[in-house]
Copies of this chain bind each other. A is one copy, B any other.
Amino acid sequence: MVKRSEGTPEPTGRPPSLADVAAQAGVSHMTVSRVVNGAGPVRAETRRRVLDAIDRLGYRPNSLARGLATGRSRALGVVALDSVLYGPASTLFGIENAAREAGYSVSVASVSAPERTSIVDAVENLRRQGVEGIVVIAPHVAAGRALEIAPREVPLVAVADTEEAPVPVVAVDQRDGARRATEHLLALGHRTAWHIAGPHGWLETRAREQGWRAVLAERGAPPPPVLRGDWSPRSGYEIGKELLDREGVEAVFVANDQMALGLLRALSEAGRRVPDDVRVVGFDDVPEAAYYSPPLTTVRQDFLALGRLTFGRLLRCIEGDDPPGRSIVPPELIVRESTGMRGR
């Protein structure tokens, strides 16, 4: 229960402003502003009176007004896919976290499909809101095209592993992750490794596929045809059923954990044992991966770090000194039973 001194203000309808506080404290609104911002000299006694009035009135600075006056909203926009894919969602929270610590607020604009127009719209929306910078989490080639025509007046950072983006990018090194996964499979003695890729148009799809293909080429392993899913467990399952008919499928690198789950399911239904008959590696290390049947070897992406790094990068853009180039977070291979020793 809050104890209120006598001076509880009349319920004016709208929240108290600097002027109201100033009146209460018997000073000018400018003095109140100085107290609130801790800037400029104010006598201790005056400060006390002002703080008192603030407390009594329940004053809360209005960041709209402040933003308007200073030209700095201390707000950021994030364009995110509204799917609940683990990676993008985690990244969003990583960004929000870092932003809050730095005193920035975060506005989200979600897009249901990574199309050029919807992304442009989202960016447009955020700009209206006066955000100081924008993060686009839409690892899709359409996003890349959208960014080309995006306004250059507002700092913009993309979370996507690509080198061609016309804006600064931050990403987990997808190709490296894919390389590690594939190398791991080949190191187990398999002649080659199959790949269940993500859908066309996604930058991750391409990078992971490239990493996989590069390792096969280096080792002289014959590249099997690429199978293509849509990130969903369902697609992994369907593709898994197709795989059953093929010869010599001993090792499969799947472009994300969810599809890998579908694959595991298809294999298990067909009585094929993992890792004994087939070895499987996923990508992402979702929290569930360690409890799949069997626990899934996968490539961990540190999305929280990614989010924080992204915010840091954007902040530097906002502040003007923007060291160009990509910021890369290294992935990590997590080995579990799905690639366990043969016969164990």
Q: A111 — nearest CB in chain B belongs to which residue?
A: B100
Set of chain B residues within 8 Å of A128, measured between Cβ atoms: 60-63
Complex Cα–Cα for A112 and B68 (A): 31
Chain A 221-232 per-residue mask, 1 if CB under 8 angstroms from chain B, else 0: 000000000001
- Shortest CB-to-CB span from A115 to chain B, Å, is 15
In the complex, which residues 94-122 of chain A have their Cβ closer than 8 Å to any Cβ of chain B?
96-97, 100, 105-110, 112
Complex contact B73–A84 (CB within 8 A): no
Q: Check if A265 is an interface residue, CB within 8 A of chain B.
A: yes
Complex contact A93–B105 (CB within 8 A): no
Complex contact B293–A268 (CB within 8 A): yes
Complex Cα–Cα for A83 and B106 (A): 16
Copies of this polypeptide in the complex: 2
Complex contact B60–A124 (CB within 8 A): yes
- Shortest CB-to-CB span from A318 to chain B, Å, is 15
Set of chain B residues within 8 Å of A214, measured between Cβ atoms: none
Q: Check if A261 is an interface residue, CB within 8 A of chain B.
A: yes
Complex Cα–Cα for A160 and B41 (A): 47
User: Please, how many residues of chain A have a CB less than 8 angstroms from a CB on the other chain?
Assistant: 59
- Shortest CB-to-CB span from A8 to chain B, Å, is 14
Complex contact A290–B14 (CB within 8 A): no
- Shortest CB-to-CB span from A131 to chain B, Å, is 10
Set B93, B109, B264: member contacting A110, Cβ < 8 A: B93
Chain A 1-39 per-residue mask, 1 if CB under 8 angstroms from chain B, else 0: 000000000000011000000000000000000000000
Q: Check if A125 is an interface residue, CB within 8 A of chain B.
A: yes
Set B73, B124, B153, B233: member contacting A64, Cβ < 8 A: B73
Complex contact A84–B75 (CB within 8 A): no
Complex contact A127–B96 (CB within 8 A): no
A-B pairs, top 3 by smallest CB distance, nearest first, are: A233-B291, A82-B93, A293-B293
